[in-house]
Structure 1
């Protein structure tokens, strides 16, 4: 299967390759980026290279897709967004994303999220998109709600990071709640 690269007004959503390992490392070695990611801060480039391989394995195994977010104007890889726990048979997945702090509050993550949701609901024909956040990840919670996700509840001790278990909020968006481009064009 060919990787489904996409373009938006400002972004190219591309397949993550080894050439992106340094940019991934710049993100995942930043404590601000991983504070709500559910993983430890990366300490060497080899960890980012392994992450690239994990993304490739996930795609090959049809368990998910992860796009690199490239700001076209600067030709800069600034983060990732993707479908985790993808189950085409069950018509569901979970969305996950992270972006370099220099690009926080610029609308880039929202733009990428909109493109991935469109792909998931219109191309993959998914019924449910889930999302899991740390309880106090205000930025991600706001972004999910802005795109129509509804909070379903708290998952106790669901995330493990920095030697501790953390409760998490779970959100979902169903295809019937997603505003398709067909409807908005009418």
Structure 2
């Protein structure tokens, strides 16, 4: 059921449902975060302390996602397995510029206990379709750390193209780091 004033785009693939989080997702969402494996590499958060993530906190998060979507600041989608509704991860789009640009950034993560099943590629492929057809972006970029081959492979597997390396692009890990820029356009 759609709440008044809510932003609801839902899409399905053969195995997945991609949609905004709902307040009723709390237990499923929390369970999958709590069942993550330890970190597999520097860009995998692995197990996290979820003690602050109460049901009230989650409801506020869902409301915040709705507010961001309604203002076209960001669009955050949960990735769920169609077969049983299991929360597998997230895909999000940040609006970088509208008007004559229609330009956004994609972020994606799949819980590490579900890696190597093709869920990431399937989810990102469909999310890009959603970005172009429903959110009306023309250009989507992925900003990827140089030492994240899994994310690079995923971007390439969904047809994103390497454009450039932006030097000192993002402040993380205690300093300004370079990012690879991959892109896809609505006319590609």
TM-score of the superposed pair, with normalisation by structure 2: 0.77
Q: Note if contact 1:85-1:93 (Cα within 8 Å) is conserved in structure 2.
A: yes
2:33 maps to which residue?
26
1:181 maps to which residue?
none
2:43 is matched with which residue: 30, 36, 53?
Answer: 36
The answer to whether residue 75 in structure 2 is matched with residue 65 in structure 1 is: yes
The answer to whether residue 170 in structure 2 is matched with residue 159 in structure 1 is: yes
- Say what the alpha-carbon RMSD is for the aligned residues: 3.0
Q: Secondary structure at the match of 2:128?
A: helix
Q: By how many angstroms is 1:21 displaced?
A: 4.7
Q: Note if contact 2:144-2:181 (Cα within 8 Å) is conserved in structure 1.
A: yes
The answer to whether residue 153 in structure 2 is matched with residue 142 in structure 1 is: yes
1:9 is matched with which residue: 10, 14, 19?
Answer: 14
Q: Tell me the distance in 2 between the aligned counterparts of 1:136 and 1:12.
A: 30
CA gap 1:77/1:40 in 2 versus in 1, 3 angstroms = closer
2:85 is matched with which residue: 75, 85, 88?
Answer: 75
CA gap 1:134/1:174 in 2 versus in 1, 3 angstroms = same
Of 146-155 and 17-26, more deviation after overlay is shown by 17-26
Q: Tell me the distance in 1 between the aligned counterparts of 2:179 and 2:136.
A: 27
1:132 maps to which residue?
143
TM-score of the superposed pair, with normalisation by structure 1: 0.78
Q: Secondary structure at the match of 2:39?
A: helix
Number of positions where the alignment pairs a residue of Structure 1 with one of Structure 2: 176
Ranges in structure 1 where 5+ consecutive residues have no aligned partner = 178-186
Q: Note if contact 2:78-2:91 (Cα within 8 Å) is conserved in structure 1.
A: yes
2:121 maps to which residue?
110
1:173 is matched with which residue: 172, 176, 184?
Answer: 184
